[in-house]
Copies of this chain bind each other. A is one copy, B any other.
């Protein structure tokens, strides 16, 4: 129990998730990222004390982060029984996908109208990163970047409530995929992402929406009722952030 990260560095990309750079935003972003990358399995218990120790902050901060995640339905907060990573049921998964289709359609249309060249370049870069992640075997990062692509697209649409909603839906989708995805065919996504950007750049809203709906179909079709496992151990999940005590642990 003597391992903890000391400077509390921000995670790779997701740091912009919060309002300012306060501690709880960092914790939030780390846990969010861990879920996006499926290093935290649905149902995993998220002990306040354990997380506080890992991140080197008090339970107050952890609690705030968990509360925020719970509001996005990524974490389930059971009264007097603590927090766990949410385990969406099949019905809940269906509802999330319904909402996502609706939102993605709107986002795609708006993005085709409003996306700036700079935003399109950023999107292309994200897809390249996503492709690279998969090609070097880093499935976790690939899935995260795939989710962030959809989030970035929402930002390009220029509608704040949609961005907020999309954030919640993308996280939940990642959770659902973690729980129900059959094969690892998720690496197909970057091709479709690139085509989508092409259509948006061409300002062809109709084509873009059509591509997006097919993309949704593909994600949908990858799901069945299997359950796979990610790590259950908080220290293992965040081990890359921990300073390992070398020989003699702390005086």
Contact = CB atoms under 8 A, between A and B. Distances in A.
Contact of A169 (B67, B71, B158, B161): B161
A60 to B, nearest CB: 9
A68 interface: yes
Nearest to A24: B67
A183 interface: no
A79 B20 contact: yes
A159 B95 CA distance: 6
Interface string A65-95: 0011001010001010000000000001001
A217 to B, nearest CB: 18
Contacts of A64: 67
Looking at A20, A64, A95, the one whose CB has the most chain B CB atoms below 10 A away is A95
A98 B102 CA distance: 13
A77 B161 contact: no
A164 interface: yes
Q: How many copies of this protein are present in the complex?
A: 2
Interface string A99-132: 1001100100000000000000000000000000
Nearest to A79: B20
Interface of A is mostly: helix
A96 interface: yes
Contacts of A106: 98-99, 102
A161 B73 contact: yes
Contact of A79 (B19, B95, B159, B169): B19
B160 A95 contact: yes
Interface of A: 19-20, 22, 64, 67-68, 71, 73, 77, 79, 92, 95-96, 98-99, 102-103, 106, 158-162, 164-165, 168-169, 172
Nearest 7 CB-CB pairings of A with B: A99-B161, A95-B159, A20-B79, A165-B165, A71-B71, A102-B106, A95-B160
Given A95-B161, A99-B161, A161-B169, 5 more contacts: A67-B67, A68-B71, A95-B160, A98-B106, A99-B159
